[in-house]
Amino acid sequence: MKIDWNRRAFWHGLRDCSPFIVIVVPFSALFGMVATDAGLDLIQVVAMSAIVIAGSAQFTALSLLQEGAPVFVVLLASLAVNMRMAMYSAALVPHLGKASLRLRALMAYVMVDQVYAVSVQTYEAKPEMPLGEKVSYYFGCITIVCIPWYICTFLGALLGKAIPASLSPDFAVPVCFIALFAPMLRSLPYIVAAGVSIVAAIAFAGLPWNFGLIVAAILAMLAGAQVEFWQKRRMRAKVAG
Amino acid sequence: MIDDSTFWLVTLVLGAGTYLIRFSFLGLLGGRQLPEWLLVHLRYVGVAVLPALVTPMIIWPAAAGGQPDPLRMVAALAALVAGWRLGVLWAIGVGMGSLWGLQWAWGG
């Protein structure tokens, strides 16, 4: 299908996603710093950010690599972190599914949390948007998120060594992860899943090769889903009764 | 130290895998729907993986030689509450700020 590019929609997307700069800049700079600190060189750091463009998975891979975990564990854990993007991909189909394969392939490469969240919200609010505007909007969103992502990873890697150890820069990594999942704790199933995840991570910390992480994640996912099923059953029972 | 070949192997496979995950539905499956039970489980991937990843970093931090550090635990808890109630940036600010504050107060 032919796309009619729409400049206004592009700027619209750019504007709607611009508040996320305040998250993307420190997060990517932090990755650059931590990765440099872990002994990666400038090219490796920037290549990883450009190839993967998924901060939480990159931090996961990096910290497991540093602990000397086997490659398949590193990959399993960091790909697990990215599995949520399958949901994004599915959620975008009704809106962008009719674009050409080449465009869809490009849009998949830059599908990140913020872009997904903002664009789906907009598409749902304005279902009458033609495909060309939706695609233009999407590219506006990714421009303002991804370009700072590349640049700040690079700057972080360059300046990383300037941060003194007394400021505990290592602590910024868990804090960033906490910042990513804390706002997700909106309802009971999410809170239960996170609780199970924490308890299981402690209980299985002794397992070799960081398998504790995988076990804890699977248990937590099952727990969250079960609570949701239970809530639905209870709702139905209430309606029926 | 991370050796070069391991790094590139992980980066390339992680990049390819991540790309396939992103491309999956939009690219390959077109409009087909995932089974509901799978979607329900996928919803919890984020809150299932991230806390399990963070917990050992907080309880046994490498920077403290793997010994439990109560200041980090308190600061992490503060970040969690701030992120939950106020949002992403607050979690980062409160987390780092409270660790620095606590370290300063304890003369660390």
Inter-chain touch A171–B99, beta carbons under 8 Å? yes
**If pLDDT is split at 50, 70 and 90, which confidence band does B57 have?**
confident
Integer Cα distance of A198 and B48 in angstroms: 9
pLDDT at residue B34 in the model = 67
Integer Cα distance of A178 and A155 in angstroms: 24
The per-residue DSSP string of A83-131 comes to: THHHHHHHHHHHHHTTS-HHHHHHHHHT--HHHHHHHHHHHHH-TT--H
Inter-chain touch A82–B21, beta carbons under 8 Å? yes
Residues 6+ apart with CB under 8 A from A24: A114, A145, A148, A149, A152
pLDDT at residue A224 in the model = 96
Inter-chain touch A181–B47, beta carbons under 8 Å? yes
pLDDT (tens, 9 = 90+) of chain A, 241 residues, equals 567 889 999 999 999 888 778 778 878 888 898 898 888 999 999 999 999 998 889 988 998 898 888 899 899 888 988 887 887 888 788 888 888 899 999 999 999 888 887 888 888 888 889 999 999 999 999 999 999 999 999 999 998 777 777 778 778 878 878 887 888 898 999 999 999 999 999 999 888 767 788 899 899 999 999 999 999 999 998 887 6
User: Exposed, middle or buried by CB within 10 Å (0-12, 13-18, 19+), for A63?
Assistant: buried
Lowest average pLDDT, out of A93-107, A219-233, B3-17, B28-42, goes to B28-42
Among partner residues B14, B52, B75, which is closest to A75 by beta-carbon distance?
B14
What ipTM score was computed for the predicted complex, to two decimals?
0.84
Q: What letter represents residue B103's amino acid? A: Q
- % pLDDT > 90, chain B: 47
pTM reported for the whole predicted model: 0.76
Q: What's CA A184's distance to the chain center, in Å?
A: 12
Integer Cα distance of A10 and A42 in angstroms: 32
Between B40 and B84, residue with greater pLDDT: B84
**If pLDDT is split at 50, 70 and 90, which confidence band does B30 have?**
low
Decide: helix, strand or coil at residue A64. Answer: helix
pLDDT at residue B108 in the model = 54
**If pLDDT is split at 50, 70 and 90, which confidence band does B38 have?**
confident
Q: Which two tokens stand for residue B97?
A: 């700020």
Lowest average pLDDT, out of A160-164, A235-239, B5-9, B30-34, goes to B30-34
Q: CA quadruple B44, A182, A123, A85: dihedral positive or negative?
A: negative
Q: Which helix (H) or strand (E) holds B55?
A: helix B45-59
> Taking a contact as any Cβ pair under 8 Å apart, which residues of chain B between 11 and 50 contact chain A?
11-15, 17-19, 21-27, 29-31, 33-34, 37, 39-50
Q: How crowded is residue B60: how many other Cβ atoms within 10 Å of its Cβ?
A: 16
- % pLDDT > 70, chain B: 94
pLDDT at residue A176 in the model = 79
Among partner residues B8, B9, B47, which is closest to A224 by beta-carbon distance?
B47
Among partner residues A38, A39, A213, which is closest to B52 by beta-carbon distance?
A213
Q: What's CA A199's distance to the chain center, in Å?
A: 23
Residue A38 in contact with partner chain B when CB distance is under 8 A: yes
Integer Cα distance of B101 and A232 in angstroms: 44
Nearest chain B Cα distance for residue A232, angstroms:
12
Residue B41 has pLDDT above 80, yes or no: yes
Q: Which residues of A183-203 are buried (b: 16+ CB within 10 A; e: fewer)?
A: bbbeeebbbbbbbbbbbbbee
Backbone angles phi, psi at B66, to 5 degrees: 80, 5
Residue A179 has, within 13 A of its CA and on its CB side, a CA count of 23
* Segments making up each domain of chain A, as ranges: 7-174, 185-241
Integer Cα distance of B81 and B102 in angstroms: 17
Q: Kindly list the residues from chain A whose CB atom is less than 8 angstroms away from the CB atom of residue B89.
A: 22-23, 179
pLDDT at residue A192 in the model = 97
